[in-house]
Amino acid sequence: MTLYFIGLGLSDEKDISVKGLEAVERCGAVYLEHYTSVLNCAKQDLEKFYGKRVILATRALVEQDAEATILKDAAEKDTAFLVIGDPFCATTHVDLYLRARKAGIACRIIHNASVISAVGVTGLQVYKFGKTTSIPFSNEQVDSPYEAMKENRKMGMHTLFLLDLDPIEGRYMTVGDAIRYLLRAALRKGDGGFKDSTLCVGCARLGAKDPIIKAGSASQLLKADFGKPVHCLIVPGQLHFVEEEALTLWKKENIQ
């Protein structure tokens, strides 16, 4: 019996790979991790497409109750653990993998697109991103995302900010929320590490049919509408001329 860790990619039921789909069709139990990201389709769309029941896996189920659920199933029958994006971009899934291996369960990984590499579509070189950081909802006293950006910029590197979300409550941070956080953090620190004029690139729904990418100063992007989730924010470091040229395109998108 095999526990399949299957990436679903970024947008809807058809972003799964052909290999991933074939694996799901072989499985006797199908779990969907439902707390680190969100698709642009409903669980029902996945169920219809797979012809299978999909069990929503909360954080508690994966982190505390896996032995009685996912791992128990995987010991008896081929089992799928579906993860939005690539399966191992969230640490918690490595933990599940390690527990499965310890329990003697064979594991197979089927990778997929992640926002970590999809940001390449902005024209900013994926190689030149430094540490990635997340901005939580409660961020009044949180310095680490701001500090990560400052460290990255010192070395000329870009910073990707992933934004907090709560799919169960339907709460999603926006590009504007992220910029307001950075402006507040810079004020609190008093070091001018982020200003109204700082160049930013905002993205929404990367990988979907209607992605939005806009570039501009922090104050320009604060006024921009990015629509539905998921959003992320990039603060670029030093720019190569091809990167400059790509950003010119996204600056135009911001003006339109």
Residues that bind a copy of itself (CB under 8 A): 7, 9-10, 12-19, 21-22, 85-89, 91, 94-95, 97-98, 101, 109, 111-114, 116-118, 120-121, 123, 125-134, 151, 155, 157, 206-207, 211, 240, 242, 245-246, 249
Specify the length of the chain in residues. Answer: 256
- Taking alpha carbons only, the member of 189, 196, 181 closest to residue 140 is 181
- We find the least distance from the C-beta atom of residue 241 to a copy of itself, in angstroms, to be 11
Angle at 229 between CA 47 and CA 251, to 5 degrees: 135
Task: Give the orientation angle of helix 43-50 with respect to helix 18-26, to 10 degrees.
Answer: 80
Rounded CA separation 150/56 (Å): 38
Closer to a copy of itself by Cβ: residue 123 or 216: 123
Closer to a copy of itself by Cβ: residue 128 or 251: 128
- We find the least distance from the C-beta atom of residue 109 to a copy of itself, in angstroms, to be 5
- We find the least distance from the C-beta atom of residue 157 to a copy of itself, in angstroms, to be 6
Rounded CA separation 211/213 (Å): 7
Closer to a copy of itself by Cβ: residue 45 or 219: 45
Closer to a copy of itself by Cβ: residue 44 or 117: 117
- We find the least distance from the C-beta atom of residue 68 to a copy of itself, in angstroms, to be 21
CA 91, distance to chain mean position in Å, is 13
Q: Are 2 and 28 in contact (CB under 8 A)?
A: no
